[in-house]
Amino acid sequence: MTTWEGAAPDSPTTPGVSGLSDLAEEPSPAGSPAARVTGRWTALLSLANLGLWIGYFAPLQVLLPNQMQDIDDAKKTTYLGIATAFGALVAVVAGPVAGALSDATGSRYGRRRPWIAGGALLGFAGLALLSGQHTLIGVTLGWCVAQAGLNALQAGITALVPDRVPVRQRGVVSGWIGLTQSVGVVIGVLAVTALVTGTISGYVFTGAIVVLTVVPLLLRGPDPQVPREELPPFSARSLLGSFRFSPRQNPDFAWAWATRFLVQLGNALATLYLLYFLRDKVHYAQHFPGRKAEDGLLILILVYTVTTVLTVVVGGAYSDRSGRRKPSVIVSGYVMAGAAILLAIWPTWNGALIAAAVLGLGFGVYLSVDQALITQVLPTARDRAKDLGIINIANSAPQVLGPALAAPIVTYLGGYSTLYIAVALVTVAGSVLVRKIRTVD
């Protein structure tokens, strides 16, 4: 487990982070960091990530599905697919562009901090805009604005790991950051189903969390100004290059992108209609009179989060100690595929509970170890945020393709059982492709 206090800054035997009293030391921003980051810095970064994931998941899991059902119950699955697909298209563009601009930013506030602050504020504006929409077009536009802001925020936050964390510590730091994704689902769903009721208040409250959770990182997280000679050259042509990389020159980066894309496609297929799955297939409300499907969704997320917590930091720490990333990523993919098979062959409440527990065990390891693996195959040090923006396309593009595939599967090709078999197949494919990466064990 992580050692939070009493470790020497450069102790090679401690997989965690050093004491809470100091912030991270300041390595050369364009070079490879050597000094271990501190617990306080990791906590600040994790808090900002927590707000980011709440900003994503509270709308995706509850607010958007309910909003679309209010607009047209008969067309809710189609409408939700349209809104999330257009939002994901914006994310595909916003992530790499914001990353490239962040890499080239030479402000006295640093190169990541302006994009973290601006992304959080734009994300809040988009979520606030969503709160007053009652048409498909209005909801779609609002979600696109929110996605632009949240992805700019994510570009700045994600780049801080390769900027400041040495390779030997990235597994455990990525584990703590990955933990916030799971906790973010719980807090996001709980916030908009139990603490704050109503669409308007739910969106505004979510946006406020996004902004407030990044403030400590902005005020206390070091982000030194980068000398202009160390910044990558920037032009309109280089901005278009934000979406391009050479698989021939960087094959491991290409394989890492492909594996992330397939696993995230499986995740998109599995989660987009989870609330509707509980309502229409499991018939949760009929089995538990007086409860809503949202209550069942929260229970599943809590079970999933508990098992994720059991593996996310431990998995990252183990990969740091062993120096091996690929075996953990491969096994975690198989475990996640097993959870999807359970949902396909046992579409009941008990089956969903067990599947949620199994999914958490696999996804916890995947969250920490795969992210650490990716930071080790980035093509260049100067373009970290841009390259991570390209990786973020592998996160966002499945949100476009997912609805296009899921809607006809659910409607015409066998329903939810077929959908979850498809989830298992693409997740296994992503796990198999990890073997193609050569420069990381």
CATH number at residue 191: 1.20.1250.20
In a domain, 8, yes or no: no
Calculate ∠ Cα 328-333-339, nearest 5°: 130
Residue count of the chain: 441
Could you please report the per-residue DSSP string of 178-202? HHHHHHHHHHHHHIIIIIS-SHHHH
Could you please report the per-residue DSSP string of 13-44? T--S-B-TTSPPP---TTS---SPPBHHHHHH
For residue 352, the model assigns a pLDDT of 93
In a domain, 286, yes or no: yes
Spatial CA neighbour of 161 closest among 44, 260, 321, 255? 44
In a domain, 16, yes or no: no
Show the DSSP H helices in 383-415 as ranges.
384-412
In a domain, 4, yes or no: no
- Residues 435, 333 contacting (CB under 8 angstroms): no
User: How many domains does the chain contain in total?
Assistant: 1
For residue 228, the model assigns a pLDDT of 65
Tokens representing residue 293 in the block: 């499907």
What residues have CB less than 8 Å from 283, skipping those under 6 apart?
none
What residues have CB less than 8 Å from 246, skipping those under 6 apart?
none
In a domain, 1, yes or no: no
Q: What is the spatial distance between Cα 270 and Cα 301, in angstroms, rounded to a whole number?
A: 13
Q: What is the spatial distance between Cα 249 and Cα 238, in angstroms, rounded to a whole number?
A: 18
Which long-range CB contacts under 8 A does 262-265 form with residues at least 24 apart? Answer: 262/426, 262/427, 262/429, 262/430, 262/433, 263/333, 263/336, 263/366, 263/370, 263/426, 263/427, 263/430, 263/431, 264/394, 264/395, 264/398, 265/398, 265/401, 265/402, 265/426, 265/430
Query: Looking at residue 61, what DSSP letter applies?
Result: I
By residue range, what is the domain housing residue 164?
39-436
Question: Could you count the other beta carbons within 10 Å of the beta carbon of residue 137?
Answer: 10
- Residues 317, 4 contacting (CB under 8 angstroms): no
In a domain, 294, yes or no: yes
Local confidence pLDDT in tens for the 441 residues of the chain: 322 222 223 333 333 333 333 344 444 444 566 678 888 888 999 999 999 999 998 998 889 999 999 999 888 878 988 898 899 889 888 888 888 888 777 777 777 888 999 999 999 999 999 998 999 999 999 999 999 999 999 988 988 888 888 878 887 887 788 778 778 888 888 888 888 878 889 999 999 999 999 999 998 876 666 666 666 666 566 556 555 667 778 888 889 889 988 988 887 787 777 888 898 899 998 888 888 888 898 898 889 888 888 887 787 777 778 878 888 889 989 999 999 999 999 999 999 999 999 988 888 888 778 877 887 887 776 666 667 777 777 876 776 677 778 878 888 888 899 999 999 999 999 988 988 898 887
- Exposure b/e, 324-347, CB count within 10 A at least 16 = b: bbbebbbbbbebbbbbbbbbbeeb
In a domain, 15, yes or no: no
Tokens representing residue 391 in the block: 């990786």
Tokens representing residue 232 in the block: 């990558």
- Say what the pTM is: 0.71
In a domain, 330, yes or no: yes
